[in-house]
Amino acid sequence: MREGARLAQCFLEPVGVFLRRRSAGAGRFLAVGGRGKAARMIDLHTHSKVSDGQYSPAELVQMAKAQGLTAMALTDHDTTGGLAEAMEAARALDFELVTGVEMSAFVGEREIHLLGHFIDPGDTALLGFVRTLRERRIERVRRMIERLNAAGVALTFEEVAGFCEGDSIGRTHLAQALWKRGHIQNFKEAFSRFIGKGRPGFVERTRVSSEEAIALIHGAGGTVTLAHGLAYGVTHEELAQLAAQGLDGLEVAHPDHDADMRRTIARWAEEFDLVPTAGSDFHGERVIPERRLCECGMARAELEALRRRRSGAR
């Protein structure tokens, strides 16, 4: 069995447990039963307050260490600004920090999120790109506020900026400001009424193509993994395009992927020879209450398989 296929099976364990309860014919899933949760203590998808998370990069690393994780990637949206602090905290605790970023991009008309792992945080092309995106995000939030104001929703840029301590101002900060003003009862309502796609306050971010994002991450020495692909509606055809563009990995286990989705996407990882990965997409309880650090964890073998896909190793 190819490495990709073998690794993909690890992520089917939750499905296996589910199927075993319902049917005696799920024997093939028993093969992975020996991999307990304890072995999957690596989380490759987290956010700090340098983008839209609750905790500082150092706090996240400390939490990861205290909770028994064996490695963690910091993958803030469109910024590498938290990596120096996270690396410093990791050095002090003798913890393995994987440098990362989560870039928003488009494949055709589909918005996707790409995780870059093992990137060089000092890469000048990546830094320049991130700086431009940060400025464009500020302009976008100003335009969203204008639209909300025009729709009769009172809100100022300063109120929104008050929730953003980092580089990557966006809709989660808008949601918090809308909530503080009493316009909404919870974050979901912010998106369904005001700032989700098609709602009165929505403005699209600057479009970055998947080719551009993949080239930047590869240029910075990193690997590219499609984050929560099925939760964003990515089709088999779109995945084929991404694979042809040089995609390295596929996030199989994510809180927004149910058992059926994990099964489908694990099969796709095998078909396109992509490394299956897992991540919690943890933002902190205040930002996304139901998510926990490492609730979707991966094993050392998967991390090493991804590392082997780095530029140069390819």
Q: Which is nearer to ligand AMP, 47 or 309 (CB)?
A: 47
Residues that bind ligand AMP (CB under 6 A): 52, 77, 170-172, 187-188, 191, 196, 205
CB of 92 to ligand AMP, least distance (A): 29
CB of 202 to ligand AMP, least distance (A): 9
Instruction: Please name the residues in contact with 5: beta carbons below 8 A apart, sequence gap of 6 or more.
Output: 270
What is the rounded CA–CA span in Å between residue 236 and residue 241?
A: 9
Q: Which is nearer to Mn ion, 227 or 298 (CB)?
A: 227
Rounded to the nearest 5 degrees, what angle is found at the Cα of 281, between the Cα atoms of 277 and 285? 150
Could you tell which of Mn ion, ligand AMP, none binds residue 191, using a CB distance below 5 to 8 A set by kind? Answer: ligand AMP
CB of 208 to ligand AMP, least distance (A): 12
Nearest C-alpha neighbor of 176 from the set 52, 50, 45: 52
CB of 141 to ligand AMP, least distance (A): 8
For the four alpha carbons of 111, 117, 89 and 60, in that order, the dihedral sign comes to positive
Q: Which is nearer to Mn ion, 149 or 209 (CB)?
A: 209
What is the rounded CA–CA span in Å between residue 63 and residue 122?
A: 25
CB of 172 to Mn ion, least distance (A): 6
Instruction: Write out the binding residues for Mn ion, residues 183-242 only, by CB under 5 A.
Output: 227
Nearest C-alpha neighbor of 141 from the set 79, 215, 195, 82: 195
Total interface residues for Mn ion by CB under 5 A? 5
Residue 164 CA, distance from chain mean position: 19
Instruction: Write out the binding residues for Mn ion, residues 90-149 only, by CB under 5 A.
Output: 102, 113
CB of 78 to ligand AMP, least distance (A): 8
Residue 103 in contact with residue 208, Cβ under 8 Å?
A: yes
Could you tell which of ligand AMP, Mn ion, none binds residue 187, using a CB distance below 5 to 8 A set by kind? Answer: ligand AMP
Q: Which is nearer to ligand AMP, 147 or 267 (CB)?
A: 147
171 is an interface residue for Mn ion by CB under 5 A: no
Rounded to the nearest 5 degrees, what angle is found at the Cα of 242, between the Cα atoms of 5 and 134? 120
The structure tokens listed for 170 are 């966006």
The structure tokens listed for 289 are 């209450």
Q: Which is nearer to ligand AMP, 12 or 227 (CB)?
A: 227
Q: Which is nearer to ligand AMP, 180 or 205 (CB)?
A: 205
Name the pairing type of β-strands 42-43 and 71-74.
parallel
281 is an interface residue for Mn ion by CB under 5 A: yes
Residue 75 host element (H or E): none
Name residue 159's amino acid.
Answer: E
Instruction: Write out the binding residues for Mn ion, residues 50-89 only, by CB under 5 A.
Output: 52
What is the rounded CA–CA span in Å between residue 171 and residue 176?
A: 9
Nearest residue to the partner Mn ion, using Cβ? 113
Q: Which is nearer to Mn ion, 16 or 82 (CB)?
A: 82
Name the residues that contact Mn ion, by CB under 5 A: 52, 102, 113, 227, 281
